[in-house]
Amino acid sequence: MSESAIPALSTWVEVPKNSDFTIYNLPFGVFKNKKLSPRIGIAIGDKIVDLSVLDQEGFFSSFFLPEGIFLKDSLNELIELGKTQTKKIRERVQQLLLAENEELRDHSARGKVMVNRKEAEMLLPVKIGDYTDFYSSIEHATNVGKMFRDPENALLPNWKHLPVGYHGRASSIVVSGTPIHRPKGQFKDPDMEKPAFGPSRRLDFELELAFITGKSTKLGDSVSTSEAEDYIFGFVLFNDWSARDIQAWEYVPLGPFLGKNFGSTISPWVVTLEAIEPFRVQGPSQDPEVLDYLKCENPHSFDIQLEVAIQPEGKSASKICTSNFKYMYWNIAQQLAHHTVNGCNINVGDMMASGTISGATEDSFGSMLELSWKGTRPVKLADGEERRFIEDGDTVIMKGFSEKDGIRVGFGEVSGQILPAKN
Ligand code: MN
């Protein structure tokens, strides 16, 4: 048995083959339906375990949880209880769902506890305080550098010395399924004499993962790479919509602004760090050596397979990208250590996105900008369609999952449709 072998578990819940929401995963989310007010649940198969009902029925009686902790419209207060508590809650649910455990299986409240996922409306899982976007894929940064600057010196001098990032906008982060209107703004292409205003003509997605912080720090304090994971609760898929034409004109000298803040979309189920633990891998080696505060004793990369599909309105979806989170040059511990090294404080519910996750091959690029190489190579879709960028009516669907020894832990999906610009 290898040291990372996962113990085999079976559950009395019927979990469809290839479901992301296995007994090994048990992600947290916030949902409501026609009868139920917003509340916190854990996904398994096609069901949601309603934690508020479990609590009312006394299944957490030894935990001394604050009253109504699961009857909330965000995970923030639950996460704030700390990892020891949230880990115990998730482990308790896992135990209750085991095939041989009759506590819930044979309980009269079982029907009330297990809610159909299909009938549930998923809400934004956290109240996001601050949002930061990194730029941590060397392949993505190199591609962008080649396109917009010097192909010979694609990476800027700082890139291999620090995880480049910027502060984004939290207010416009929405949950999967929320349509986004094409943004309007200023652009000035190289061949234009003066800037023009109108709907973006180069609307793009960015394939990313984001982590949610689960512990606060005080202003002035820093988090080291070895402590970083204590501050990370879990992950969601993150589509960082980008208007390339607006971005290219506005970004000098202060960075991304209106080309980015019109919307970002996240998946509703927060997959915990514990759930992806079996998929931990060594990241790419870093050369030149990084400064001491960015050095890591242990690996902080994860083997998470990612894919993107485009579905034009009324047509079938076409997969256009297959990538992996493990390609990222800078890891989550380095990102958090760098973010706080100057004393910047973090709060529970902050969101930190990875940056576009591109791989080395052309089919693993995590944005249309790269896939169509700045619009010069149209990407073929099914039904005779092709795309350089995202068109009105298109739905972009991202999926992510880890799989090993027949065990799967996944994120479900994040999807969003682009509507025409508003008048
Ligand atoms: Mn981004």
CA distance linking residue 401 with residue 167, whole number of Å: 27
**pLDDT of res. 28:** 99
**pLDDT tier, 7 (very low <50, low <70, confident <90, very high otherwise):** confident
**What is the per-residue pLDDT across 330-343, written as a single tens digit (0 to 9) for each?**
999 999 999 999 99
Which pLDDT value is given to residue 149? Answer: 87
Q: How far is CA 28 from the centre of its chain?
A: 13
Give the model's pLDDT for residue 253. Answer: 95
328 CA distance to ligand 1 middle (Å): 13
List pLDDT tens digits, range 77-131.
Answer: 999 999 999 999 999 999 999 999 999 999 999 999 999 999 999 999 999 999 9
How far does the centroid of ligand 1 lie from the alpha carbon of residue 220, in Å? 27
In the annotated binding site for Mg(2+), the residues are: 240, 260, 264
Instruction: Give the separation between CA 112 and CA 53, rounded to whole angstroms.
Output: 7
The Cα-based distances of 325 to 268, 311, 330 in angstroms read 19, 23, 11
pLDDT-based confidence at residue 2 (cuts at 50, 70, 90): very low
Rounded CA separation 399/304 (Å): 10
For 41-69, write each residue's pLDDT tens digit: 999 999 999 999 999 999 999 999 999 99
% of the chain at pLDDT higher than 70: 99
- Residue position matching structure tokens 């699961």: 70
Residue-wise pLDDT tens digits, 238-250: 999 999 999 999 9
Query: Taking the complete model, does pTM exceed 0.85, yes or no?
Result: yes
Catalytic residue at 181? no
Helix, strand, or coil here: 54? helix
Annotated binding site: 133, 135, 149, 206, 208, 240, 247, 251, 260, 264, 356
Q: 202: how many CB neighbours lie within 10 A of its CB? A: 22
Whether pLDDT at 377 is above 90: yes
Q: Determine the average pLDDT of the residues in 151-162.
A: 96
- 10 CA distance to ligand 1 middle (Å): 38
CA of 49 from ligand 1 middle (Å) equals 33
Q: Assess whether pLDDT exceeds 90 at residue 414.
A: yes
In this structure, the chain runs to a length of 423
Out of 107, 140, 181, 338, which one is annotated catalytic? 140
How many angstroms separate the CA atoms of 50 and 30, rounded? 10
Q: Output the CA 209–ligand 1 centroid distance in Å.
A: 10
Centroid of ligand 1 to alpha carbon of 210 (angstroms): 10
Judge whether residue 317 has pLDDT over 90. yes
In a 3-state reduction of DSSP, which class is residue 208? strand
d(CA 342, CA 328): 23
How far is ligand 1, taken at its centre, from the CA of residue 133, in Å? 6
Return the pLDDT at 45.
98
Return the residue matching tokens 């020894």.
405
* DSSP label of 139: H
Query: 45-49, 120-124, 148-152, 179-183: which range is least confident on average?
Result: 148-152
Annotated binding site for Ca(2+): 133, 206, 208, 240
- Of 267, 266, 295, the C-alpha closest to 283 is 295
Cβ-contact 372, 387 below 8 angstroms: yes
Q: Is residue 30 over pLDDT 70? A: yes
Residue 44: how many other CB atoms lie within 10 Å: 24
- List, in sequence order, every residue forming a beta bridge with 115; answer none if it has no partner: 48
18, pLDDT greater than 50: yes
Q: Give pLDDT, residue 402.
A: 98
- Supply the mean pLDDT for the chain: 97
Say how many Å lie between the CA of residue 76 and the centre of ligand 1: 24
- Residue 175, Cβ neighbours under 10 Å: how many? 19
Partners of 270 in the beta sheet?
28
The strand pairing partners of 118, in sequence order, are none
> 190 — phi, psi (to 5°)?
-55, -30
Rounded-to-integer distance, Cα 306 and Cα 400, Å: 4
Give which of 303, 276, 264 is closest to 414, Cα–Cα. Answer: 264
Domains of the chain: 3-123 (2.30.30.230), 131-419 (3.90.850.10)
Contact 194, 144 (CB under 8 A): no
